[in-house]
Amino acid sequence: MVDAFTDAPFRGNPAGVCLLDQAADAAWMQHVAAEMKHSETAFVRPLAEGEEDYELRWFTPLVEVALCGHATLASAHALFTSGAVPADRPIRFRTLRSGVLTVTRAADGGLRMDFPATPPAEAAAPDGLAEALGAPLRWVGRTAQNDVVAELADEETVRELRPDIAALGRIDARGVVPTARATPGREHDFVSRFFGARVLEGDGEDPVTGSAHCALAPFWAERLGRDALTGYQASARGGYVRTELRGDRVVLSGRAVTVLDGTLRV
């Protein structure tokens, strides 16, 4: 179990990472993810053929997902810290729905992930969105991952949201991503939260969502006029995601901490 997008335990976003030595059945992986109860559990299997090093799949307690940033960061952290991969070489992950993802380790120990950019396209606000969030909307868009991005008035509004999760779950979307420009003087450039009532258990809020920053990076780069930005996801645990837009790709950077290491006995 790894806390991602943080340099301290019990912060950032926790992910399960299951290091496999052979292929596993998807139904079994779904059972393991449901048992772990994290927002995502990643399954990593070494590949003997092709240019990629490992196969990578992500499961919430309920479904398999197409892309997960924090569990990718956690997986790379587990491989680097276990010695499975030397610190000076990149890891190339083969994924089913998001192509090849490359992760490198920086000299300071931080991890850099090369992901596809998924800029949101402006769209009509889904019925009931403003009411479910409890805040007026400045702009609404939808991403290729079927996330709804909603720009709100300011950072404080995003931080203080107490949304109606059941109502958000009735919106046709993987998740709803409220976001706003940071308050002047902060060490970050924008804030966000992620509510995924259809794919997450519990209160439906994901602590730090790497895949959402594949959309937030191009969204805020256009508005702020800079390709390199720092986002803060203002959940109860909180976490920083550094983003760098490179054409149709986004480099997401962060740190991770292992909190539990053991053997799965089923």
Just list the catalytic residues.
40
CA neighbor of 140 nearest in space, from 150, 131, 130: 150
- Name the helix (H) or strand (E) containing 155: helix 155-159
Q: What is the CA radius of gyration of the chain?
A: 18
Query: Which pair of tokens denotes residue 70?
Result: 């924090």
Q: How far apart are CA 224 and CA 118, in angstroms?
A: 17
Is residue 42 within 8 Å of residue 73, measured between CB atoms? no
Amino acid at 171: I
Is residue 16 within 8 Å of residue 36, measured between CB atoms? yes
Amino acid at 39: S
Phi, psi angle pair for 111, to nearest 5°: -110, 140
Q: How far apart are CA 157 and CA 234, in angstroms?
A: 11
SS (H, E, C) 97-154: CCCEEEEEECCCCCEEEEEECCCCEECCCCCCHHHHHCCCCCEEEECCCCEEEEECCC
